[in-house]
Amino acid sequence: MGKDRWQLMPEGFASIIQQMAVLFSIIAVGYIANKTGLMGREFDKHISKLVLNVSLPAMILASVLDVSEIPSRSDILTTVVLAFFAYLVLIAIAFVFCFVVRCRKGMRGVYRFMLVFGNTGFLGFPVVAAIFGNEAIIYASICNLPFNLLVFTIGAWFISSDSEEATPVRVSVRTFATPALIACLVTIAFALAGVCAVPFAGPALSTLGSFTTPAAMLIVGSAMANMPVRDLLGNPRLFAMAVVRLLVTPAIIYLTLHAFVSNAVLLGVLVVTCGMPVATNGTMLCYEYGGNSKVMAQGTFITTVASLVSVPLLVLLLG
């Protein structure tokens, strides 16, 4: 795989659009399941706990233990550093956005979460493969490690510290000591030690982790069903967030890093993953920490719909 240039793989756009369609179909099933009584708020909370504590940690571990090849230690460290730097930029953008649009208390945490954390797993991986080829998935996997570390620390703090509940959830060390965070730290250690392709354990974790994506999509769809149809489109502030999330943020990441990153594939992976829709586990974290699941579901819906256009547009602009 050349590192000095990249181009859209054959049928790349069709693969991207197809993946978006898959996402919408599962969300639609969750919506219908809620309307027919198969899912509901309490059921969604229990499934959210199962995903956050069991299947998601398995998916994280499988990102290293179920692959046959990983980059060198120096490449891993460089990618991790760049990914963390990108998230620092995203966090700064989120705080500036909330100040500019004057998000009220009780909403700031949700908006900050939506602007920092994108759907880098379910959508990010297949989109990266469609654009750069399957060889680039390892870069996406490494870039996803800081996501899993930060989403259960900074992300949980965003939501819980600005909860609309009368008594905000207190964030402590115990709050952050989640199975997903522990799995993330173990995964980074395995990657640095060169451990991969572990027989039985890798495939088993991958199979268990595969439950994460459909479960998360179903929960998002069910959460949407709890709102009137007219509320799904949200408000102008949500549309502004979507523009920043999908187009402005990846553009800033590109302008910030392109002069320092000679590996064009790595730069492209960073930029494209930063332009993904809102992370679907945001709705689950709202259930867990008392955040506004309605606004989170609206943001997820709007950015996912818009990404049908924004992702191909982003690829064209960067290409």
Q: pLDDT-derived band of residue 34, with 50, 70 and 90 as boundaries?
A: very high
End-to-end CA distance of the chain: 17
Q: Please write the tens of the pLDDT for every residue from 144-157.
A: 878 877 887 888 88
Question: For residue 215, what are its two tokens?
Answer: 């479960």
Residue count of the chain, please give it. 319
**How far, in Å, CA of 71 to CA of 48, rounded?**
33
Provide the b/e sequence for 80-104 (b: ≥16 CB within 10 Å). Answer: bebbebbbebbbebbeebbeeeebe
pLDDT of residue 167: 42
Report in angstroms the alpha-carbon separations of 123 from 44, 74, 98, 272, 288: 22, 27, 26, 10, 23
Q: Which residue has the higher pLDDT, 118 or 262?
A: 118
Per DSSP, the three-state class of 305 is helix
Mean pLDDT across 101-111? 86
Predicted TM-score (pTM) of this structure? 0.77
CA 13 centroid distance within chain: 20
* 60 within 8 A of 209, measured Cβ to Cβ: yes
Q: Do the beta carbons of residue 22 and residue 141 sit within 8 Å?
A: no
pLDDT tens by residue, 159-210: 887 765 534 555 566 656 778 778 888 888 888 888 888 999 999 999 998 8
Q: What is the enclosing helix (H) or strand (E) of 95?
A: helix 73-100
Q: At what angle do helices 137-151 and 264-273 cross, to 10 degrees?
A: 40
Please tell me the CATH code under which domain 12-309 is placed: 1.20.1530.20
Query: Please, are residues 285 and 161 in contact by the beta-carbon 8 Å criterion?
Result: no
More confident residue, 28 or 125: 28
Among the listed residues 312, 284, 262, the one whose alpha carbon sits nearest the alpha carbon of residue 113: 284
Closest CA to 152 of 252, 62, 51, 7: 51
Q: Kindly compute the dihedral angle of the four CA atoms of residues 219, 220, 226, 229, in this order, to the nearest 10 degrees.
A: -150
Please indicate whether residue 308 or residue 61 has the higher confidence score (pLDDT).
Answer: 61
Per the prediction, the chain carries an average pLDDT of 82
Q: How far is CA 241 from CA 26, 38, 61, 179, 256, in A?
A: 24, 32, 32, 30, 20
Among candidate residues 156, 187, 142, the one with its CA nearest the CA of residue 281: 156
- Supply 221's token pair: 């769809």
Residue 63 neighbours by CB distance under 10 Å: 29
**Reported confidence tier of residue 293, pLDDT bands at 50, 70, 90:** confident
Q: Which of 23, 64, 54, 27 has the alpha carbon at shortest distance from 209?
A: 54
pLDDT in tens, 247-285: 999 999 999 998 888 888 888 889 989 999 999 888 878
Residue 250 corresponds to which amino acid?
A: P
Domain boundaries, the chain: 12-309
Overall average pLDDT of the 231-239 stretch: 81
133 conformational bin, left if phi > 0, alpha if psi -120 to 50, beta if neither: left
Q: Which are the contacts of 174, defined by CB distance < 8 A and separation ≥ 6?
A: none
Q: How far apart are CA 19 and CA 40, in angstroms?
A: 26
Q: Between 126 and 166, name the one with better pLDDT.
A: 126
